[in-house]
Homo-oligomer: A and B are copies of this chain.
Amino acid sequence: MRIAVVGAGALGLYYGAMLQKGGNDVHFLLRRDYEAMTAKGLAVYSVNGDFHLPHVNGYRTSEEIGTVDLVVVGLKTFANHLYRQLIAPLVGETTIIITLQNGLGNEEALAGIFGAERVMGGVAFLCSNRGETGVVHHLGAGRILLGELCYCGMERVERIAGLFCAAGVECRGVTDLKKARWEKLIWNIPFNGICALLLKPVDVLLRHDGIRAQVRAIMAELIETANAQGLTVPMQQSFADSMIRFTETLGAYKPSMQIDREEGRQLELEAIFDKPLAAARENGLAMPRVEELHALLDLVSSEKS
Contacts and interface: CB of A to CB of B under 8 A. Distances in A.
B217 A299 contact: no
A242 interface: no
Contacts of A291: 214, 217, 289
A113 interface: no
The interface residues of chain A, by DSSP majority, are classed as helix
A194 interface: yes
A293 interface: yes
A291 B215 CA distance: 11
A158 interface: no
Q: 8 shortest A-B CB distances, which residue pairs? A: A210-B295, A288-B288, A214-B295, A289-B292, A208-B299, A211-B295, A214-B292, A288-B289
A298 B210 CA distance: 8
A197 interface: yes
B288 A217 contact: yes
A214 B197 CA distance: 16
Contact of A299 (B205, B288, B294): B205
Interface residues of A, number: 25
A36 interface: no
A39 interface: no
Interface in A195-223: 197-198, 200, 204-205, 208, 210-211, 213-214, 217-218
Contacts of A302: 208
So how many copies of this chain end up in the complex?
A: 2
Contact of A211 (B197, B210, B214, B296): B296
Interface string A76-108: 000000000000000000000000000000000
Interface of A: 194, 197-198, 200, 204-205, 208, 210-211, 213-214, 217-218, 288-289, 291-296, 298-300, 302
Nearest to A302: B208
A195 to B, nearest CB: 11
Contacts of A292: 214, 217-218, 288-289, 292-293
A51 B88 CA distance: 72
Contacts of A294: 210
A198 B289 contact: no
Contacts of A194: 296
Contacts of A197: 296
A25 to B, nearest CB: 46
Contacts of A293: 292
Task: Tell which of A205, A213, A298, A299 has the most Cβ of chain B within 10 Å.
Answer: A299
A299 B213 contact: no
A213 to B, nearest CB: 7
